[in-house]
Chain A
Amino acid sequence: MLLISCPWCGERDEVEFHYGGESHIAYPDDPEAITDDAWGEFLFVRNNPSGEFRERWLHTHGCRRWFNLLRDTSTHEIVRSYRMGESADQSSGAERESD
């Protein structure tokens, strides 16, 4: 089981959380103006890297906040968690030493 660091509550078991897919997908400024292809891209197309991935998680059974997690999809190493509105590069997020 993953030990996920909620930016509010600290480290908790994975079962307390729900996964919310890739983060930092911005809603189109003017959805009426973009093509169907671009809209489909926005709705359905996500990165699937082998390596570090920025994703959203919800601390369902704790503080019920959405937050971002920088996780390595091949090693499951959790590099950093950070609150909504913060960037992954800011150091204010809860940081975890890599093993």
Chain B
Amino acid sequence: MASSAPSEPRMAPLSGWESRFVEASESGVVELGERPFLAHVNLRLDPSNLSARARVRETLGVELPLSPNTVSDGAGHAALWLAPDEWLLVGPTGSEGEIVGSLQGALAPYHHSVLDITANRTTLELVGSRAREVLATGCGLDLHPRVFGPGRCAQTLYAKTQLVVWQIDDVPTFRLLVRPSFAPYLAEFLCDAMLEW
């Protein structure tokens, strides 16, 4: 049983919320939706190991960011800084096996850890001119564009829920990476916060 492929399609943590999201969203002002099943791979590596970092770049086409709370993109992958020796690699849906396999091969000579954590978090996307204000309703992070812009990420709290906040563009679009068990609570809180706009 354990070795057979799952016969049923996997279920998104927020499946069934689509109508709530549509109801709460205001086109062009602020919109909320789920982007489930993006490939998430956790990578731990000594940041001073130049050749190991080069291997990651050659394998995935993305440079591991060294400045805290920044993201770098490349070849369809994104690398989010989580800690001085820890990154979250995000890739297209279904690519987690390929990312883990290729990295394990490339990093074999070095002390490292590569782990598929796709099921660990789901992704909410908050988009629109008021997205920043909605996020500020429950988050103590300084979200001013001067401080937090595209290509920035942070692990923080929103309404007491642990989140990875990641701004991907100027609209602004925020990706909120949250544990599946906290996702309905977060979605409920965000839908309520969006009523104001």
- A69 → chain B, closest Cβ, in Å? 17
Assuming the A-B contacts A61-B156, A62-B156, are A12 and B141 also in contact, with contact meaning beta carbons closer than 8 angstroms in the complex?
yes
Q: Is A38 in contact with chain B by the CB < 8 A criterion?
A: no
Cβ of A65 under 8 Å from chain B = yes
Q: Are A62 and B84 in contact (CB under 8 A)?
A: no
Whether the Cβ atoms of B154 and A65 lie closer than 8 Å is: no
How close is B133's CB to chain A, nearest CB, in angstroms? 18
**B157: which of A16, A63, A64, A65 is its contact (CB, 8 Å)?**
A16
Q: Interface code B135-155, partner A: CB below 8 Å = 1, 0 otherwise?
A: 000001110000000000011
Known: A15-B157, A16-B156. A64 touches B140 (CB 8 A): no
**A88 smallest CB distance to B (angstroms):** 20
Residues of B55-90 contacting chain A, CB below 8 A: 68-69, 82-84
Measured in the bound complex, the distance between the Cα atoms of B82 and A13 in whole Å is 18
Judge if B162 is at the interface, Cβ distance under 8 Å. yes
In Å, the complex CA distance between A62 and B162 comes to 9
B84 nearest CB across to chain A (Å): 6
A86 contacts across to B, CB distance below 8 A = none
A1-22 residues at the B interface, CB under 8 angstroms: 8-13, 15-16
Considering the chains assembled together, what is the distance between the CA atoms of A63 and B82 in angstroms?
Answer: 6
A16 to B69, CA, bound (A): 15
B157 lies within 8 A of A61 (CB): yes
Contacts of B141 in A (CB 8 A): 12
A37–B46 CA distance with the chains assembled, in angstroms: 40
The answer to whether residues A12 and B68 also contact, given A61-B155, A63-B83, A63-B155 and a CB cut-off of 8 A, is no
Residues of chain A with a CB closer than 8 A to B156's CB: 12, 16, 61-62
On whether the beta carbons of B155 and A11 are closer than 8 Å, the reply is no
B66 CB to nearest chain A CB (Å): 11
B-facing mask of A54-72, CB < 8 A → 1, else 0? 0000000111110000000
Bound CA–CA A11/B141 (angstroms):
9
- CA of A63 to CA of B156 in the docked complex: distance in angstroms? 9
Chain A residues positioned under 8 Å from B155 (CB to CB): 61-63
Can you name 16 A-B residue pairings with CB atoms under 8 Å? Answer: A8-B83, A8-B84, A9-B68, A9-B69, A11-B142, A12-B140, A13-B157, A16-B140, A61-B155, A61-B156, A62-B156, A63-B84, A63-B155, A64-B83, A65-B83, A65-B84
Q: Apart from A10-B68, A10-B69, A12-B141, what 15 extra A-B contacts exist at CB < 8 Å?
A: A8-B83, A8-B84, A9-B68, A9-B154, A11-B142, A15-B157, A16-B140, A61-B156, A61-B162, A62-B156, A63-B82, A63-B83, A63-B84, A65-B83, A65-B84
